[in-house]
Structure 1
Amino acid sequence: MPLDTSARFADPDAAYRLIVEAHRGLGEEESRKLDAALILILANQIGDLAVLREALALSRAAIAPSREASTL
């Protein structure tokens, strides 16, 4: 099963708000722990190593320009 990157939420803004609200009142370290827990829960939900690999590669590629800019 290939990674589906099409919009899948009927209301993507509501999904974003849920994630933002989950972080409300948390410190930086707590937010990182929440993100890590959410990532592991969703990775388990995916349950497919090939899809997870593809998602991780896309995520790394998305941050590559900002990593390069920070080293200049």
Structure 2
Amino acid sequence: MMLNLTPNIPDPDGFYQELIAAHEGMTKEQSDAFNARLILTLANHIGDRDVISQALEAAK
């Protein structure tokens, strides 16, 4: 399977607002920990190591 880099999230602006709101009131350390948990949760959902590796490279 290949990593999908084309826009694929319905209402991306709404998603971005929700993501930013999830960080409200957090310290930098809490925000960093939240991001790490979110990444691991989404990586687990994807489940395909090749796709996850592609995402890591794309994020660089």
Question: What TM-score range do you get, normalising by the shorter chain?
Answer: over 0.9
RMSD (CA atoms): 0.5
1: CA distance between counterparts of 2:40 and 2:48? Answer: 13
Runs of 5+ unmatched residues, structure 1: 61-72
Q: Which contiguous aligned blocks of 4+ residues in structure 1 show a shift greater than 4 angstroms?
A: none
Percent of counterpart pairs with the same letter? 40
Unaligned runs of 5+ in 2: none
Instruction: For residues 29-54 of structure 1, give each alpha carbon's deviation from its aligned partner in whole angstroms, at most 9, with x where no partner exists.
Output: 00000000000000000100000000
Give the helix-richer structure, 1 or 2.
1
Larger radius of gyration: 1
Give the TM-score taking structure 1 as reference length.
Answer: 0.81
Q: How many residues align?
A: 60
Relative contact order (alpha carbons < 8 A, sep ≥ 6): 1 or 2 greater?
2
